[in-house]
Amino acid sequence: MQTLAIAVGALILYLIAYHTYGKFLARRIFKLDPETTVPSIELRDDIDYVPTKKSIIFGHHFTSIAGTGPIVGPAIAVMWGWLPALIWVLVGSILIGAVHDFGALVVSLRNRGQTVGDIAGRVLNPRVRMLFLLILFLALTIVLAIFGLVIAKVFQQYPQTIFPCLVEIPIAVLIGLALHRKGIDLLLPSLLALGCMYLSVIYGGIGILGDVNTWLSELPVMSWVVLLLLYSYVASVLPVWVLLQPRDYINSHQLLTALGLVVAGLFAAAIFGGAAVDGVRPPLEMVAPAIDLAPQGAPMIFPFLFVTIACGAISGFHCLVSSGTSSKQLKCETDAQFVGYGSMLTEGFLATLVILACCAGMGLGIENQQTGATLLGETAWNSRYASWGAAQGLGDKVAAFVDGSANFLKALGISEGIATALMGVLVASFAATTLDTACRLQRYVVQELAGTFRRDGENPGILAVPANLLSNKHGATIFAIVLAGAMAALPVGGATWEWGSAGKGGLILWPLFGATNQLLAGLAFLVISFWLWRRKLPVVFVALPMVFMLIIPAWALISQLGGFLGSTGAEANWLLVSVALATLALQAWMLLEAVLLWPRARGIIEDSLPPLPARSEPHDEGGRSC
């Protein structure tokens, strides 16, 4: 019953945190006001700025921030034992991650939906804005370059997930058009879409559809990367209500339903045991060690636990979603707690379930690939986690969660094929949502950078033409996907370039992503702290997490430099070394700027945004109703 107690205890803890600490932050620190005019109404354009119900925004926000991060990170970090991973997920998500996401969302709401990078230029100074935007640009380029590979790998491992993920796109467009043009109630389309999605999971791998799935799963990775980046382009330039919102809303229902099934299966497995193996239902128990500070081949638990588990505890990528898309869609300022703080707690609960799936669910039985025999208990755990290197492969990380959570569903009597398909679709859907949201965010960053370099007509300068092109949403998005595609196409490990082996180039810079992603969270905290400090609002609730999230990622990045350099100069990966040093230099520069400005900023409000041009009063389908 230990596994069940952990799941129930975590859920209760998150509910308490939302209704206590979350409300405290909303009322006492950020002082949310339902009467404040939000950017989605003030700047409504029905493309990016669209006032939307909080339930829909929750779906978009949750599926965008989650991705595969809260699955892959915990699935690796349990190598140090399930207890350190669980503690970091619980403490990190409540006191650090949710505060980060919530704070970035509120600050953006109070600044016309600007990204955190743009806001940094006003609450600190213009140089910091440029440094911040460059870090965002690098991080998002890596995400775009790598997530096509992630999705392709999921499709190759679990071909039955392809049809459900593809059919979701036209369903989402139909719902988006119906809701926007006819103003129909959301409940019925949501239920119909959810039913269609589950029918596609159940029957999408049968007959001719199964053959099509198999054929598509055999496509080269680079083919999938190109197709997914083209899809991301379309999703990025379309109005959010056409595809992004309804797709994420459908995803959120599908994913939350899947998580509900996992919890129900966990209850069944804890009480009755897992699905029968040779006529016996194996007991549900934690088969991984509680603590293992020195697993074979693993780096030090400090600081690497805190950058291995990013999403699920805290992730810098989340500040981009909060300030890049969600802040432009919230219909009411008080919805920020539900969307910002609540989504992060939901992701923390997902990460908790991942830990339980990997550390207890796999013990209910997994197939030995060599012999076909069913492995149980610690034997099953050791088959995937014998060493740090064995747990590092992308396929093994995804499979550990899919197999473990599918075992929970099998305890409910769900067939193995359907259970595996449901969990595979969950992973692929999360990854796809992160990909299209990251593309939209990169478009904003490119447009902001282009605006910085744009020259007026009297003195156009050499950068005028490219800056003008990149200021356009189509030009910025095309630049983003072409750059990501070029990086993905690079050969890895000095291999000869071939179409069949391309698509993995994002792995070149991926070793840096964990630390730089967490460093981004620390820098976002820096911006939020300055915003509060200038208004004489309490900052300790943000400043303490900020210090932690600036020190730990820098420590990890410095520790990684030794590996990047190798034992001899000839073995050094100078690309990783140069990017790591540049990132540390950018951080040091930003911190120096912040330290010099901090004593003078107390109580001094930054310059106001320029007045908006005169425009007709925007219509609002539901009014500014909270």
CATH of the domain at 173: 1.20.1740.10
Cis status, amide bond into 303, omega within 30 of 0: yes
Query: Which segments in the chain show pLDDT lower than 50?
Result: 455-460, 462, 618, 620-623
Rounded to the nearest 5°, which phi and psi values hold at 504?
Answer: -105, 10
User: Strand 374-375 to strand 366-367: parallel, antiparallel, or no bridges (unpaired)?
Assistant: antiparallel
Any idea how long the chain is?
Answer: 626
Structural domain includes residue 187: yes
Non-local (6+) Cβ contacts of 196 within 8 A are: 167, 171
> How far apart are alpha carbons 240 and 247 in whole angstroms?
10
Rounded to the nearest 5°, which phi and psi values hold at 375?
Answer: -95, 140
**For residue 622, what pLDDT is reported?**
46
> How far apart are alpha carbons 507 and 505 in whole angstroms?
5
- Angle at which helix 244-272 crosses helix 394-410, to 10 degrees, equals 60
**For residue 42, what pLDDT is reported?**
93
Q: What is the CA radius of gyration of the chain?
A: 24
Structural domain includes residue 554: yes
Structural domain includes residue 613: no
Structural domain includes residue 618: no
Q: Are 143 and 434 in contact (CB under 8 A)?
A: yes
Q: Is the dihedral of CA 457, 463, 467, 469 positive or negative?
A: positive
Structural domain includes residue 505: yes
Containing structural domain, residue 290: 2-601
Q: How far is CA 98 from CA 33, 133, 349, in A?
A: 20, 22, 12
Structural domain includes residue 615: no
- Angle at which helix 187-203 crosses helix 416-453, to 10 degrees, equals 120
Question: How many folded domains does the chain comprise?
Answer: 1
DSSP state of 161: G
Q: How many CA atoms lie within 13 A of 334 on its CB side?
A: 10
- Give DSSP secondary structure letters for 398-451: HHHHHHHHHHHHHTTT--HHHHHHHHHHHHHHHHHHHHHHHHHHHHHHHHHHHH
Q: C-alpha angle 541/543/547, rounded to 5°?
A: 130
Categorise residue 617: left if φ over 0, alpha if ψ from -120 to 50, beta otherwise. Answer: beta
- Angle at which helix 221-237 crosses helix 473-489, to 10 degrees, equals 170
Closest alpha carbon to 319 in 534, 542, 147, 537: 542
Non-local (6+) Cβ contacts of 621 within 8 A are: 51, 183
Structural domain includes residue 93: yes
Residue with tokens 């934690």: 286
> How far apart are alpha carbons 445 and 135 in whole angstroms?
10
- The tokens of 405 are what? 């959570």
Structural domain includes residue 250: yes
